[in-house]
């Protein structure tokens, strides 16, 4: 595995690969890697001739400065994991490389309101930062395929919209959610939970799964109310549970009228904000 910290170094490597007609797969991350990330890396390595992963804690997507400061940085352990996964290139740029002075990296794109719902409502400016960094990283890496997790459902939906709108020649590959043995979706933020809360946090996945198992017992609205109540037990406090159309992310009134429906939730566990989702139905393929 080669580590590149500058755009120049990265391009030297990738231009050569492109000249040789090799396919490039890319997984962007914030680091503090876990098995969820590794599943994306494994796909990237398997499906492409050259695999690239970036570690960059992007300041523009953190609406809370304290969250940015608290974000775990574990470069040594991360690079060990990536090496073991047979990654070819680890891109580890500084903020100056991603956002050099004088370069306008703001992205003008019509996201059709996808960025204002759910996470967008509670984390103002978050998706603007995500779109900015992913576009900039795509410009830098120029991959054939981009790998993202279903864990961040709204994020990949927005990135797919950006790719379509800007006619970017990269295919988005979405990978399933990897969970801890009890069901909690893996996240770098799980490390900040106490042992007890981490165990109890299976209630999030259990609640969302119960909706899926008994879908037609209640209307979407009733299920949302039911799950908000179920998740409002110390140390948990739900910010939202939304049952939405998987394409538009707008709340659904009936399950029957939609082919693709997903339930998304954001829940505080003590002072840690966790997100999760479960696809309730998908007949749109």
Binding site for ligand AMP (CB under 6 A): 29-30, 36-37, 39-40, 148-149, 151-152, 175, 177-178, 185-188
C-alpha span between 31 and 60 (Å, rounded): 16
CB of 82 to ligand AMP, least distance (A): 13
Chain centroid offset of residue 11 CA: 25
Exactly one of 37, 126, 247, 258 is catalytic; name it: 37
Q: Residue 31, class by beta-carbon neighbours within 10 Å (0-12 exposed, 13-18 middle, 19+ buried)?
A: buried
C-alpha span between 249 and 251 (Å, rounded): 7
37 is catalytic: yes
CB 88 within 8 A of CB 1: yes
Residue 60 or residue 220: which is nearer to ligand AMP going by CB?
60
CB of 151 to ligand AMP, least distance (A): 4
CB of 38 to ligand AMP, least distance (A): 9
Q: How far is CA 246 from CA 157, 180, 196, in A?
A: 8, 24, 33
CB of 227 to ligand AMP, least distance (A): 20
CA 183-188-194 angle, to 5 degrees, is: 70
The residues carrying an active-site annotation are 37
């Amino acid at each position: 595995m080669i580590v590149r910290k500058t755009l120049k170094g990265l391009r030297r490597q990738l231009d050569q690969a492109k000249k040789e007609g090799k396919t490039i797969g890319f997984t962007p991350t914030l680091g503090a890697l876990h098995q969820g990330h590794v599943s994306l890396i494994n796909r990237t390595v398997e499906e492409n001739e050259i695999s690239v992963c970036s570690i960059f804690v992007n300041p523009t997507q953190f609406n809370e400065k304290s969250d940015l400061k608290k974000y775990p940085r574990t470069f040594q352990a991360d690079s060990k994991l990536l090496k073991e996964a047979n990654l070819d290139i680890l891109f580890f740029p500084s903020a100056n490389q991603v956002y050099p002075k004088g370069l306008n990296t703001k992205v003008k794109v019509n996201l059709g309101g996808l960025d204002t719902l759910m996470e967008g409502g509670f984390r103002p400016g978050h998706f603007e930062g995500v779109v900015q960094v992913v576009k900039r990283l795509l410009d830098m890496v120029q991959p054939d395929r981009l790998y993202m997790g279903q864990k961040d459902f709204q994020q990949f939906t927005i990135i797919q919209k950006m790719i379509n709108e800007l006619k970017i020649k990269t295919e988005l590959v979405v990978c399933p959610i990897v969970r801890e043995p009890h069901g909690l979706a893996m996240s770098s933020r799980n490390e900040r939970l106490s042992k007890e809360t981490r165990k109890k946090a299976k209630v999030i996945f259990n609640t969302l799964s119960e909706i899926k198992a008994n879908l037609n017992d209640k209307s979407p609205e009733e299920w949302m109310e039911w799950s908000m109540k179920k998740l409002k037990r110390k140390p948990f406090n739900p910010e939202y549970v939304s049952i939405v159309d998987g394409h538009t992310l707008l709340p659904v009134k009936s399950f029957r009228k939609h082919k693709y429906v997903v339930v998304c939730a954001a829940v505080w566990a003590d002072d840690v904000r966790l997100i999760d989702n479960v696809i309730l139905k998908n007949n749109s393929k």
